[in-house]
Structure 1
Amino acid sequence: MSGLFEGLSDADLENIRDSANIAAEDKRIAKQSKAQERRALDRQEKEEKARKKRRAKSKHDFAYFCQTYMPDAFTLAFSEYQLALTRLAANRNLNRQDEALFKELIDPRDHGFIKQPISGEYEGILDIEPRDHGKTTRNTQAMPLWLALNHPGSFIVICGASADSAKEMMDAIKDDLEDNELILDDYGEQRGNTWTKRKIKLANGSSIVAVGRGQRLRGIKNKYQRPTHIICDDLLDDKEVESPTLRRQAERWFKRVIMNLGKGALTIIANTIMHPDDLPSRLLNQIEDGRLPNWLGLRFSAITPSGRPLFPSRWSLQDLENKRIASGSAWWTEWMNRPIADEDADFKEDWFIYFKPYELDLRDCTIGMAVDPATGLKKGDWSFIAVVARHKITMVDHVLFAKGWKESDLQFAQRIVDVYLQHRPSFVMFETVAFQKIYKKEVMRYAKKKGVRLPVREFKGGNKQVRIKSLSSQVENGLIQFLETQTLLRQMFLEFPRGHDDGPDAVEMAISGFESGFVGGAVPQTPRPIRTAAQALSRFGGGALSRILR
């Protein structure tokens, strides 16, 4: 080996070594470059494979599309009913499992709106959901995007209450098409030749149009194509819905314009029912009596018939109970989709007259008490006690005490005696069956322990709704007055007959105790009044008992 390099200078040897090192480095770099290219290709292949997988799944899974491409808007897990709605919108038919699910989650009174299509697929879906359950984002932003991107050639019309609300919907869709990086990566640049505040056309041939209620749409086309999907969201706002004229105009516009946009289009109406005579209420009636064949009506409430939250990942039962207290009478409109028109309400907010305790001299009053216990027959009922003072001269009834509890029978039995001791009424009205079967033993035992005998009058209930409704004119005319602190009782009156009626029932029972004739078929049981020795002696003056005991 040494002979090969004889005669070479040190400089020559250094050059040879440098050349060898350079060649080795070039080889290493080439190898590294090839490895990088291979990794880049592998990464591209993986990304392309993942892209194809995402797109393939998104095409048939709307919920997956929402949570994958719009994670900021869909941070919570879809609930059962929302998943069923996505299948319904995608397939335009209702499978038996989802039909059973809807009937489980929807009040039986509304099952008449759940009908299978007679022509094989639905032409319209009326999706009535509570406030803050995601219907607007899901239906007016995500649904048009999903259809336009995954079903090229779709022509979607979205409708809002006004031109401004329609513009907001369109802006949200354009923002995702222009700035959503994952949508751009997976579906490419989709901005087409038409890109206005009212209409956009995508590169894949899909189009989206946004309009407000009342705007002209007749003859709207995408070249020769009619709309494939029409999505409407809350076509009347909270104030407009109170106007009979605007309600009629909304229905007329919907029937003349929306329903004539194109044969074969699927119309989806996402709404909260704001009035018993608003557009979705009218459409429900038309679905039930067959005037809208191939339409499906779904009226959801925030709390299902079984007492569970409709959207549990968003609203717990306690959250909904807090919302109910905060919302007052609006609860039944915005959260349960069962509004009562102001003109039809049995009790109105401005009827309630309030008295101050110091304004009333109880020496001029007869005091009665009534107990309405929760019997366990209706989930969530309150056990309620009302104490009413009737002025002997004016005959005005003053609700001195009205409170409800959710507690055990034993606790409530003891509470009955405590409230009696606090107010010392002349009688205690108690529903006959509940008293005899559940409370008599415990009430009497605890009363004896406290050294009192309750003047119980047993009460055979009769028609509760008729009895409570009979108080309406008395409240309106100020013949029944309340304390401002009795918020739960007032809420129950305002919600009647939709919500819990335990408080109004107890008040009516107490007032019935003053009367000789009972309303609604109620029958009082009036044995000879039970009086303690102290009560008997009281008519001789406050010192009679002490004089005898001396």
Structure 2
Amino acid sequence: MLTAAEKKKAYAEWRELCKRVQQLTPVTLSISRETPLEKEKRIRRLQSNYAAFCEYYFPHYLTLRDKVTGDVIRVVHNAPFHNAAANKVKNTPNLKAVFKWPRGHAKSTHFDVFLPLWLMFQSQRLINFMVAVGKSEDSAARLLGDIQAELEYNQRLIADFGDQKNLGEWTEGEFKTQSGVKFLAVGRGQSPRGLRDRESRPDYIVIDDLDDDELCRNEKRVKDLTAWVKEALFGALDVGRGRFIMVGNLISKCSVLANMCKAKGVHVSEIKAIDKNGDPVWRDKWTRQEAQEVADFMGYRAWQKEFMHNPITDGTIFRYEWIRYKKLPRLDKYDMLVCYVDPSFKSTTANDYKACRLWGKIGTELHLIDCYVRQDTVSGMVRWLYNLYESLPEGVVVHFYMEANFMQDIILDEFETEGKIRGYQLPISADNRKKPEKIQRIEGVSPLWERGCVWYNETLKNTPDMQVGIEQTLALERGSRVHDDAPDADEGAIWYLQKSARGAKFKPVYIRRESPKSAW
């Protein structure tokens, strides 16, 4: 609950919003002189075109102005994914959907303000009862406050669709327009059972940023809240009829948003802040350079969590600050090169990751030079290995190893088949070590990261293979079910590189290292 001072501040901010809405939505002289036929034609066009609707009625949202002079800097248009989402919602009367968008990409603006009003002001009204769900009833009421300000003070909406303020039912968190559309705020976990406005039940429910870091640390709370969303909240619709929408970014894999994305029949829209080339998906919003500056300031982990739907959770063996990058030397400068292969048992893509990790030793340092960490077929992995082998400069030798348990007919057949195509066989050897338990082995080499002996190839920093490998490494802990193919392959390569330095007769001793009790 908000304190009296917080409520006073929130109300003052809302009044400023109302003033801004009124000032920045004037009806131009040319519009005011329209004939009734011209006005009707213009409104019909806006009703059918979401981007045009937003640009005309909400210039205060889509115009960047100088904070001192108030001059227009530039107009920010909807991104294609905004318009696609709006049409999906409009054209699907009975919709269950999750819109997984990054921070700063107008989730609340579109689903809590623009879209409800677009549906409300169609020639045949598509929304009658909206429920906004937030972390608390106060936060949900603030979400509705934005749409309330538009209905009461947006001059262009009033000029085209009439005065909507209903003096008898116009309170914070719950109000009803003169045209009969009801709006209600609900906090997470509150009972929405029996929600109705006379004969009407909600037909547009939007759940906005329900997850937070504290909630996601408690698996039982996440499970209980997911049940509340699916049962009590979804049950507030008229036997599932209506638009049931959740918006947010994936801050944790243990979250209500993650659970809803897995639910059967749910449409999932996933938008990442930048594409595979590093360009922003909302180009009117910011430049590539601005996005990179934000990523550099936040750091890899926070950027991945807030903007790329890739929350990296620490395990208890490795720490994020131990991951170091540098520009690596030429391959012919290394004392020894080893590529270790962990192919997983199955040949399909819907199973464990397959990992190939090329490591080099130079002096006392160990460098991860190249990597392949994918849910791929065995043949896809084999092709990557052959391509790596063929890319090696003349005179450079790489020792390829794979665990003996994997040197089975089905996997060897893939190597042989690819070799026949290429005209030679890849020189891969079996790792016949009698290995201790996997976690024990990986714990045994983790001090090399801690002491700064391990470096990653800077040029591959933002590639999916590198990122997945780092995620697996950081998430590793005893009893965890996370994928561990990359750190397992790292241990194998490092064992052979270290063996070359200490002599073939040296027998490694694996010591279980107790991890310090801390938040990481």
Q: TM-score, normalised by structure 1?
A: 0.56
For residues 274 and 451 of structure 2, what CA distance do their matches in structure 1 show? Answer: 32
Q: Tell me how far 1:510 sits from its aligned partner.
A: 6.2
For residues 196 and 61 of structure 2, what CA distance do their matches in structure 1 show? Answer: 31
Cα 1:52–1:435 change in 2 (3 A) is closer
Instruction: Say whether 1:283 aligns with 2:260.
Output: yes
What is the match of residue 272 of structure 2?
301
Cα 1:284–1:133 change in 2 (3 A) is same
Aligned 8 A contact 1:329 1:491 in 2: no
Structure 1's unaligned 5+ residue stretches are 1-40, 93-120, 288-292, 355-366, 373-382, 391-397, 405-430, 445-455, 518-550
What is the match of residue 210 of structure 1?
185
Q: Secondary structure at the match of 2:169?
A: strand
For residues 218 and 43 of structure 1, what CA distance do their matches in structure 2 show? Answer: 45
Q: Secondary structure at the match of 1:217?
A: coil
Instruction: Say whether 1:227 aligns with 2:205.
Output: no
Instruction: Say whether 1:168 aligns with 2:142.
Output: yes
1:130 to 102, 112, 115: 102
For residues 61 and 338 of structure 1, what CA distance do their matches in structure 2 show? Answer: 33
State the AA in 2 paired with 1:278. Answer: S
Q: Tell me how far 1:123 sits from its aligned partner.
A: 2.9
User: What do residues 408-467 of structure 1 show as CA deviations (whole Å, max 9, x unaligned)?
Assistant: xxxxxxxxxxxxxxxxxxxxxxx98567644525xx7xxxxxxxxxxx43232659xx99
| Residue correspondence of structure 1 range 348-359 to structure 2 within 5 A | 348-349=319-320, 352=322
Aligned 8 A contact 2:133 2:187 in 1: yes
What is the match of residue 128 of structure 2?
154
State the AA in 2 paired with 1:88. Answer: K
What is the match of residue 399 of structure 2?
459
State the AA in 2 paired with 1:459. Answer: H
Q: Tell me how far 1:478 sits from its aligned partner.
A: 5.5
| Residue correspondence of structure 1 range 381-420 to structure 2 within 5 A | 389-390=363-364
2:249 to 255, 264, 272: 272
State the AA in 2 paired with 1:252. Answer: A
What is the match of residue 5 of structure 2?
none
Aligned 8 A contact 2:140 2:185 in 1: yes
What is the match of residue 255 of structure 1?
230
Q: Secondary structure at the match of 1:203?
A: coil
Aligned 8 A contact 1:194 1:201 in 2: yes
What is the match of residue 177 of structure 1?
151
State the AA in 2 paired with 1:314. Answer: K
Cα 1:371–1:245 change in 2 (3 A) is same
User: What do residues 258-287 of structure 1 show as CA deviations (whole Å, max 9, x unaligned)?
Assistant: 111122121011121122121122122222
Q: Tell me how far 1:247 sits from its aligned partner.
A: 0.9
Q: Secondary structure at the match of 2:443?
A: helix
For residues 402 and 302 of structure 1, what CA distance do their matches in structure 2 show? Answer: 27
Write 1 or 2 for the structure with the bigger share of helix.
Answer: 1
For residues 30 and 87 of structure 2, what CA distance do their matches in structure 1 show? Answer: 35
What is the match of residue 58 of structure 1?
46
Aligned 8 A contact 1:368 1:511 in 2: no
| % identity of equivalent residues | 21
Instruction: Say whether 1:482 aligns with 2:459.
Output: no
For residues 77 and 130 of structure 2, what CA distance do their matches in structure 1 show? Answer: 26
User: What do residues 185-236 of structure 1 show as CA deviations (whole Å, max 9, x unaligned)?
Assistant: 2222110121111111111111111222122221111122111111111111
Aligned 8 A contact 2:82 2:110 in 1: no
Q: Secondary structure at the match of 1:252?
A: helix
Aligned 8 A contact 1:166 1:211 in 2: yes
For residues 388 and 118 of structure 2, what CA distance do their matches in structure 1 show? Answer: 60
State the AA in 2 paired with 1:135. Answer: K
For residues 155 and 303 of structure 1, what CA distance do their matches in structure 2 show? Answer: 35
What is the match of residue 46 of structure 1?
34
For residues 224 and 145 of structure 1, what CA distance do their matches in structure 2 show? Answer: 22
Q: Tell me how far 1:497 sits from its aligned partner.
A: 2.6
Aligned 8 A contact 1:153 1:207 in 2: no
What is the match of residue 171 of structure 2?
196
Q: Secondary structure at the match of 1:165?
A: helix
Q: Tell me how far 1:304 sits from its aligned partner.
A: 4.2
Aligned 8 A contact 1:157 1:210 in 2: yes
Cα 1:48–1:487 change in 2 (3 A) is farther
For residues 461 and 67 of structure 1, what CA distance do their matches in structure 2 show? Answer: 60
Q: Secondary structure at the match of 1:46?
A: coil
State the AA in 1 paired with 2:89. Answer: A
Q: CA RMSD in A?
A: 4.3
Q: Tell me how far 1:90 sits from its aligned partner.
A: 0.6
State the AA in 2 paired with 1:243. Answer: N
For residues 449 and 389 of structure 2, what CA distance do their matches in structure 1 show? Answer: 33
State the AA in 1 paired with 2:151. Answer: L
For residues 79 and 499 of structure 2, what CA distance do their matches in structure 1 show? Answer: 52
Q: Secondary structure at the match of 2:469?
A: coil
Choose 1 or 2 for highest CA Rg: 1
Cα 1:495–1:275 change in 2 (3 A) is same
State the AA in 1 paired with 2:233. Answer: I
State the AA in 2 paired with 1:143. Answer: L
Range with bigger deviation, 250-259 or 43-52: 43-52
Aligned 8 A contact 2:94 2:242 in 1: no
Aligned 8 A contact 2:132 2:207 in 1: yes
| Residue correspondence of structure 1 range 37-116 to structure 2 within 5 A | 46=34, 48-74=36-62, 75-92=75-92
Aligned 8 A contact 1:125 1:297 in 2: yes
Aligned 8 A contact 2:97 2:244 in 1: yes
Cα 1:331–1:152 change in 2 (3 A) is closer
Cα 1:368–1:482 change in 2 (3 A) is farther
State the AA in 2 paired with 1:241. Answer: C
State the AA in 2 paired with 1:481. Answer: R
Cα 1:67–1:479 change in 2 (3 A) is closer
For residues 219 and 336 of structure 2, what CA distance do their matches in structure 1 show? Answer: 43
Cα 1:213–1:298 change in 2 (3 A) is same
Cα 1:140–1:387 change in 2 (3 A) is farther
For residues 333 and 197 of structure 1, what CA distance do their matches in structure 2 show? Answer: 33
State the AA in 2 paired with 1:247. Answer: V
Aligned 8 A contact 2:144 2:173 in 1: yes
For residues 221 and 184 of structure 2, what CA distance do their matches in structure 1 show? Answer: 24
Structure 2's unaligned 5+ residue stretches are 1-28, 63-74, 325-333, 340-356, 371-383, 407-430, 432-437, 474-485, 502-520
For residues 322 and 469 of structure 1, what CA distance do their matches in structure 2 show? Answer: 37
Cα 1:209–1:148 change in 2 (3 A) is farther
What is the match of residue 332 of structure 1?
304
Aligned 8 A contact 1:149 1:206 in 2: no
User: What do residues 67-107 of structure 1 show as CA deviations (whole Å, max 9, x unaligned)?
Assistant: 11112213422222222111101110xxxxxxxxxxxxxxx
Aligned 8 A contact 2:337 2:397 in 1: no
For residues 42 and 368 of structure 1, what CA distance do their matches in structure 2 show? Answer: 77
Instruction: Say whether 1:514 aligns with 2:498.
Output: yes
Q: Tell me how far 1:169 sits from its aligned partner.
A: 0.8
Q: Secondary structure at the match of 1:157?
A: strand
Range with bigger deviation, 321-330 or 206-215: 321-330
Aligned 8 A contact 1:155 1:227 in 2: yes
Q: Tell me how far 1:136 sits from its aligned partner.
A: 1.6
User: What do residues 491-526 of structure 1 show as CA deviations (whole Å, max 9, x unaligned)?
Assistant: 88994436799x999998566422269xxxxxxxxx
